[in-house]
């Protein structure tokens, strides 16, 4: 169920909006939807389990830290029936961060009215035109002021009907 989209660096200007925007890149509405899982689930395995209860299973992958290859960091994938949550653990500090969320069912608490089955046009009405359109995928990058990287919101459609939402968070 994971998002298997290769996100390339994007260099363009933020859209002009009538509402005040507190981002370098992306609309206010995109920011609301982008930040919703962080507000709902928190940043740790413990906080995710507090909200979603015990997962069907948890898998772990270890890999060298990008800044210190001698240190092995971990990604924990918490798998539920229609939700996958990945938590990145910086093992040297023990700090955990929300890495990604994949949703294939309605969870109004984190989707601000976006529902499975929505058409691409409905998503565009709420969030504006996506930065990138692929055959069955809309990609919305989002960057908060002072961030060093871009978070990404990905909508996947099947027969013009929303079947998956993926949140990918930039970590350095």
- The 10s digit of each residue's pLDDT in 122-161 is 999 988 899 999 999 999 998 876 666 788 999 999 999 9
User: Taking the model in full, what pTM does it have?
Assistant: 0.81
**Torsion over CA: 170, 141, 86, 64 (sign):** negative
- The 10s digit of each residue's pLDDT in 75-126 is 999 999 999 999 999 999 999 999 999 999 877 556 677 889 999 999 999 8
Would you state the pLDDT for residue 16?
Answer: 33
- The 10s digit of each residue's pLDDT in 18-73 is 344 344 456 677 788 888 888 888 899 999 999 999 999 999 999 999 889 999 99
Whole-angstrom CA distances from 34 to 4, 18, 23, 72, 144 are: 18, 20, 12, 28, 10
7 pLDDT higher than 50: no
């Amino acid at each position: 169920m994971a998002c298997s989209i290769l996100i390339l660096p994007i260099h363009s200007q933020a859209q002009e909006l009538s509402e005040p925007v507190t981002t370098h890149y992306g609309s206010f509405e995109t920011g609301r939807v982008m930040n919703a899982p962080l507000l709902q689930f928190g940043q740790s395995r413990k906080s995710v389990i507090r909200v979603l209860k015990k997962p069907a299973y948890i898998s772990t992958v270890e890999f060298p830290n990008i800044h210190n290859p001698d240190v092995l960091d971990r990604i924990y994938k918490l798998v539920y029936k229609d939700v996958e949550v990945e938590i990145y653990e910086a093992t040297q500090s023990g700090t955990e961060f929300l890495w990604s969320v994949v949703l294939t069912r309605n969870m109004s608490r984190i989707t601000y009215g976006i529902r499975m089955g929505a058409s691409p046009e409905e998503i565009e009405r709420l969030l504006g035109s996506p930065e990138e359109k692929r055959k069955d995928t809309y990609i919305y990058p989002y960057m908060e002021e002072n961030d060093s990287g871009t978070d990404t919101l990905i909508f996947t459609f099947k027969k013009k009907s929303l079947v998956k939402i993926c949140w990918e968070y930039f970590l350095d």
